Structure 1
Amino acid sequence: MTTAKPLRADAQRNRARLLEAAEAVFAGSGAGASTEEVARVAGVGIGTVFRHFPTKEALLEAVYVGRLERFAAEAEELTSSVDPVAALLGFFTRTVQQAATKNALAEALSAAGVSTEHANSTAGTALRTALTTLLDRAQRAGGVRSDIGIGDLVGLMIGASHAVSGKDDAARDRIIAVVVDGLSARR
């Protein structure tokens, strides 16, 4: 069995720039944006794109997984927050606010025949684990309804993410506020 050689430092920088550029390009122009545009924004040649990501679908999947990994890392970091209620509700709000890009990437992956379940596996598990801790801490602090389970919370995040898709900022924020209010414990 062979193991992949670690990337040289310049190759690591190029890969990171490509992922950053791809996320910006896909967020601004949708998942239909070209790999040539990604290369241009990253300041590299198209050959560099395909050296790191042999297909556009591989690039989309890497961007999608990268977003999930960042969400999981943020949620994990928040598990030790002094104010667990603000940590959970703030994370919920930020995640839903950024949903349009994630949904577009997921739809593009599905259209290309790439399973988002596979892409979700590792990062999704870490995210769910951190969310479970955040929810438990917020409930013990008395700021979130005690009858909400992790499945409910994830369902609300997904549902709210779809509900805000295509809405203007005011409508998006109003929808999020209604859901957050519904999560909050009644005093």
Structure 2
Amino acid sequence: MPEETQRPLRADARRNRERILTVAARVFAAEGLDAHLERIAKEAGVGSATLYRNFPTREALVEAVYRHEVVQLCDAAPELLAAQPPLNALHAWSRRFLDYVTTKYGMIDALRAIATTGSNPYGHSREMIRAALTTLMDACAAAGTIRTDIGPADLAVALEGIALTSARPDQRAQAERLLTLTLDGLTARPEL
């Protein structure tokens, strides 16, 4: 049934679904796609039937986890801006972007396989991510804390490059250094 025509979930069903997606993201990132779905259900505190009612196949779960991670990442931008200065929010969001890519790295083969079936797990994710990045960078520019000659498309490519070359968990320290270097280069410098 298409998502648009589904009835809204009851609060407990929505919580169960959220827990399944959160646990699955962590488990897939740590173990890859060979992770047992029954383990995901158990760690989420639900029965296997609940997991399969929400996600009838492993591919459905992988695609839902990916979409959920994109939404979580993008929804974080205004939340971070509300809680801290714009430049700090940009730094925090960029680290979340690295977390998102690390999670995606564990699911990449399955996402590619899903894409070959005609489904598009990526949907509008690139546009959503760029929109979140634009919101953050616009706030930073308005505060005068970043250079204005670098746009969201440029920073998105830089973040994607860092993420693609340093996506494995054992490369996180390098990714953090590259992220710091990139964001330092974006910071506005006083005129001499």
TM-score for the superposition, normalised by structure 2: 0.81
Q: Which runs of 4+ in 1 moved over 6 A?
A: none
**What runs of 5+ residues in structure 2 fail to find an aligned partner?**
none
Change (3 A) 1:110 1:175: same
Deviations 1:43-90 (A, max 9, x none): 333232221111111101111111111111111223446521221122
**Letter matched to residue 86 of structure 1:** N
Deviations 1:79-105 (A, max 9, x none): 446521221122113322442112323
- Find the aligned partners of 2:46 and 2:92 in 1 and give their Cα distance: 36
Which stretch has the larger CA shift, 142-151 or 49-58? 142-151
Distance 1:124 1:100, change over 3 A: same
Report which stretch shifted further, 112-121 or 164-173: 112-121
Query: Percent identity over the alignment?
Result: 38
Amino acid at match of 2:140: A
Q: Does 1:162 align with 2:164?
A: yes
Contact 1:25 1:33 in 2 (8 A): yes
RMSD: 2.7
Task: Choose from 77, 87, 101 the match for 1:99.
Answer: 101
Shift of 1:24: 2.2
Q: Letter of the 2:135 partner, please give it.
A: T
The residue correspondences of 1:72-87 to structure 2 (distance < 5 A) are: 72-80=74-82, 83-87=85-89
1:45 to 47, 67, 78: 47
- Structure 1 stretches lacking a partner, 5+ long: none
Task: Figure out how many residues of one structure are paired with residues of the other and give that number.
Answer: 186
Instruction: Give the CA deviation at 1:111.
Output: 2.9
**Could you say which residue in structure 2 is the equivalent of 1:184?**
187
The 8 Å contact of residues 27 and 35 in structure 2, kept in 1 or not, is answered as yes
Distance 1:143 1:170 in 2: 25
1:164 touches 1:172 (CA, 8 Å); kept in 2? yes
* Letter aligned with residue 41 of structure 1: E
For the 8 Å contact 1:85–1:138, the answer to whether it is kept is yes
For 2:62 and 2:72, locate their aligned partners in 1 and report how far apart those are by CA, in whole Å: 15
Q: Secondary structure at the match of 1:121?
A: coil
User: CA separation of 1:109/1:169 partners in 2, compared to 1, >3 Å: closer, same or farther?
Assistant: closer
Q: Counterpart of 1:140 in structure 2: which amino acid?
A: A
Q: Which residue of 2 aligns with 1:89?
A: 91
Could you tell me the TM-score, scaled by structure 1's length?
0.82
